Chain A
Amino acid sequence: MTERSLTFTLNGQKHEAKADPRIHLGDFLRHSLGLTGTHIGCEHGVCGACTVIVDGVPVRSCLMLAVQIDGCIVETVESLGKPGNLSPLQHAFAANHGLQCGFCTPGMLMTLEAFLRATPTPTEDDVRIAISGNICRCTGYQGIVQAALDTAAAKANPT
């Protein structure tokens, strides 16, 4: 198949790349660009592990073709904090044991990152509904929910 040329902004950097039209965004990020932080869990749009932010909105990167990001702003888990300098949300995940195996974690983080920008003071129910499209098999969700609430509270009431 003929590859298409794409121009997009990825994690704050302008990028030009070529993509096979059949490749979905998740595989493109992982295997063409080497950004393996985004994980592929079901490839039918239900588990949410592959969630990234495109133009400010969380999307399932397994349900979006790579060629569709031409002209878009894409954010992945690699845009958040680094191991020595975690973002507030990442830090809250660690503090609340919001991850175990870590496989669903990048999708959870990106879903909540987009959600908290739009909903800075959520209730517990709001958070549970926000991540109701992300499956975690390890944690029982409680630590994840608390991490989101703690992050929102810290931002609303900086000490």
Chain B
Amino acid sequence: MREETVKADNHYFRPFTPFNIVAGIIVVIGLLLTVLRFTRGLASVTNLSDYTPWGIWIGFDLLVGVALAAGGFVTSAAVYIFGLKKYHSAVRPAILTGFLGYALVVLALHYDVGRPWRLPYPFFVQQGTTSLLFEVGACVALYLTVLFIEFSPAAMEWLGLKRARNLVVRLTLLLTIFGVVLSTLHQSSLGALFLIAPSKVHPLWYSAYLPVYFFVSSIIAGLSMVIFESSLSHRYFKDKMDPEHLADKDNVALGFGKAAALTLAGYFTIKVIGIAADNNWHYLATGYGAWYLVELLGFVALPCFLYAVGVRDKNLTLIKWTAVLTIVGIIINRFNVSMIAFNYHLPAGERYFPSWMEIGISIFIVTIGLLVFRFIVTRMPIFCAHPEYKNTH
């Protein structure tokens, strides 16, 4: 294994591939922007204002990041709680994606909050236990820890820490239950954060059901992200996969596609019921209503139908592209709630649009995630069982 790993390292150490060059440029620019952000403050790199204190770093890096990282708890719950062992090969990649997703959320948060060194204050100095934000912070911190422990057996197998690895593997079910509980809490609480702003969020997006919408859509995001990540990994890291992973590829896409189709159908239903509950039908005839219908029909109903057709016809290409469409839909939804439909009544001149430097930092953080993901999967047993631990999962 060690020899194989070294060979793998050498194989990937080609510094001037197109990906490396683009990633290198992004990292250099990102580091420069980071220096600017932490030496000259938020105002020097962002378009944030008193009207819009939460911009793209919250809308994309945090809300989208947390939703797309839901694949970890969705997959581990399916395998370890619901006993769907046929998806076992998807667990480690999903846990890794989730772990990196949450780690990058926390990294992005350091850029967004004014005084990041005070992030531990809610835990150690002043507990705002009645605050939703405290609950989100506590759950994210705990779940990041859980994901780290869930991911650690792969790193321990790589490092040869057999006893520690066996100890952690025994905790799998407990960690999975923790993960599901913590995810349910904070995925919904992220939506609940916007309940405080009924006059700022457009009525079509504001609903008492926002926590439910965020939670259900996070399951959809998690399922779609596993399909998307799996299809990319099979394309770029095929040589790292053992026969089990290669054989399970279609199973995972079909099973997760079916689950996503059903969850999307349920999500569509509760969104329509939400419109009925608030008697918001008349808003559908406005400009914002048209945009809402684009989101609801184009990025919820359409992927629901396409997933169903893909699963029925066993059309894996269609399922993969539908996963992309669904992920775009989740991004649009989080952007709508946190930015586009937020402060909708403000005149155009006062509305928020991110500066290129905010977008640059977001791209930088995603790139860091891709680089770390590649570093880990080319070294640790993520897409294959370690020879010493075969059949022990």
A binds B: no
